[in-house]
Amino acid sequence: MTSERSPEALPLVFASPLAIVGGGTVDGALLRELAEKGVALVGADGGADTIDAAGLLPDAVIGDLDSLTNRAAWESRTRVIHIPEQITTDFQKALYSTEAPVTLALGMTGKRLDHTLAALSAVLQYAPTRRLMLVDEVDVALAVTGCVSFEAGKRERVSIHPLAPIRFVRSSGLFYPMDGLLLEPGGLIGTSNEGVGARVEVEPEDETPWLLILGKERLWDLVAA
């Protein structure tokens, strides 16, 4: 089944967490784990082939479809939404065409630097309106607007990356305090901070989006939160 972008058809609304899968490197075992736990899967254009390679069927395929293998075969298997405009990336198309309580993005980083940069730009754009995180082979990066609080182990890596200039009012539970720090791309950034074995609290000055980057083993903690 195919459809063009239209108010009647979109957005696709998911009650469960959603994983948007791109054409970058994706762990097939993780995709299967997500599916087993009830996470909906959407292929961003050729990301549908990545889902298929893991032995799974996406709930939908969304994009300009210029990199999708055998579009006709996909149309007989699941919903294929063709959005031909070239102003946005396939990741952005999948974002503006869906709604979900939590959105994971896999295969959006790595392989090509321009795709990684485009994914970060999309995260900055959509962070204010949805709970969104990037997942790669090593890390999970949660887009945060406002304060965050979570338990962290002693010496657990906690990276804080500014997507735009942002000042932090205070922090607790981190080896390197964030109090009064201005972080910005091209300036001071918060790579490889560490937990001290207590609750981490980070309070920025405003709701400018920023990334909280933890090890991938914390994925389900962030989904549940």
From residue 151, alpha-carbon distances to 172, 186, 201, 214 in Å are 11, 29, 9, 12
SS (H, E, C) 6-45: CCCCCCEECCCCEEEECCCCCCHHHHHHHHHCCCEEEEEC
Residue 170 in tokens: 């205070």
Predicted local confidence at residue 7, as pLDDT: 41
Beta carbons within 10 angstroms of residue 207's beta carbon: 13
Q: Alpha-carbon Rg of the chain, whole angstroms?
A: 18
Contact 55, 34 (CB under 8 A): no
Percentage of residues of the chain with pLDDT beyond 70: 96
Q: Give the pLDDT confidence of 63-75 residue by residue, as tens digits.
A: 999 988 889 999 9
56: helix, strand or coil: coil
Q: Give the pLDDT confidence of 167-180 residue by residue, as tens digits.
A: 999 999 999 999 99
